[in-house]
């Protein structure tokens, strides 16, 4: 039974280094608690002599087979995760290349500043490390700010007459010639 004397005896046996005596006291306390008797007298030597149950070889084989199966499943899952990671990395790289191409088309980046290897679609380092969500946001903002495509001129282009063109050809190339052509075009209506 668990009483202060039993606990004290178990502690004294433990502190003195007598593990066998401490085990005997604790076993008697356990047996008393299970039996529910106030003063049970149990032969603790008989309890100490009970050998552990023999290991069942078939149980060991079952455990070994389960371990092998679990190891194989774990390795298969690791391969699957690696494949999915590689597929995601390829998809992200393709999307990044598309977004960098869009930045070049929008005129935000020059091809020389955007691509490390344009043929392979490899962006420069700063665009490779930029978060994909941030890159998507930048492209969306620039698309909204700049319309894509070239707008045709709204006013008709006035061509020089043959006489005006001959006179312009006699003037050496430079600012004087440009002013002459602009003046002639601006003075006539289409």
Specify whether the CB–CB gap between 114 and 100 falls below 8 A.
yes
pLDDT at 38: 44
- Contact assessment for residue 114 and residue 156, using Cβ atoms and an 8 Å cutoff: no
Angle at 91 between CA 90 and CA 95, to 5 degrees: 115
Is the Cβ–Cβ distance between 171 and 177 less than 8 Å? yes
Residue 137, pLDDT score: 94
pLDDT in tens, 88-120: 999 999 999 999 999 998 888 888 889 988 888
Instruction: Decide: 185 and 156 in contact? Cβ < 8 Å.
Output: no
pLDDT of residue 140: 92
Instruction: Please give the Cα distance from 104 to 114 (Å, whole number).
Output: 7
Q: How far apart are CA 135 and CA 127, in angstroms?
A: 8
Q: What per-residue confidence (pLDDT) applies to 183?
A: 85
Which residues fall within 8 angstroms of residue 9, CB to CB, at 6 or more apart?
25
Give residue 42's pLDDT: 47
Nearest C-alpha neighbor of 116 from the set 100, 130, 105, 132: 100
> What is the full per-residue pLDDT of the chain (190 aa) written as tens digits?
567 777 777 778 777 777 777 778 777 777 777 766 544 444 555 445 555 555 566 888 888 888 999 999 999 999 999 999 999 999 999 999 999 999 998 888 888 889 988 888 899 999 999 999 999 999 999 888 866 666 666 666 667 888 888 988 899 888 888 888 888 877 766 5
Reading the block at residue 49, the tokens are 């002599």
For residue 79, the model assigns a pLDDT of 94
Return the domain boundaries, the chain: 4-48, 57-145, 156-190
What pLDDT does residue 158 have? 66
Q: Is residue 110 a contact partner of residue 123, using CB atoms and an 8 Å limit? A: no
């Amino acid at each position: 039974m668990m009483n202060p004397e039993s606990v004290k005896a178990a502690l004294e046996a433990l502190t003195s280094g007598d593990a066998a005596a401490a085990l005997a006291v604790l076993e008697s306390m356990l047996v008393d608690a299970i039996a529910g008797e106030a003063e049970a007298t149990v032969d603790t030597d008989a309890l100490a002599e009970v050998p552990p149950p023999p290991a069942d070889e078939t149980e060991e084989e079952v455990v070994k087979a389960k371990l092998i199966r679990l190891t194989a499943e774990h390795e298969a899952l690791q391969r699957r995760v690696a494949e999915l990671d590689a597929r995601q990395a390829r998809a992200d790289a393709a999307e990044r290349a598309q977004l960098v191409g869009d930045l070049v088309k929008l005129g935000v980046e020059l091809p020389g500043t955007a691509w490390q290897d344009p043929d392979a679609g490899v962006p420069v380092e700063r665009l490779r490390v930029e978060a994909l969500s941030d890159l998507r946001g930048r492209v969306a903002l620039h698309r909204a700010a700049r319309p894509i495509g070239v707008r045709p001129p709204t006013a008709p282009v006035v061509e020089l007459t043959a006489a005006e063109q001959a006179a312009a050809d006699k003037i050496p190339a430079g600012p004087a010639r440009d002013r002459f052509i602009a003046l002639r075009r601006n003075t006539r209506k289409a």
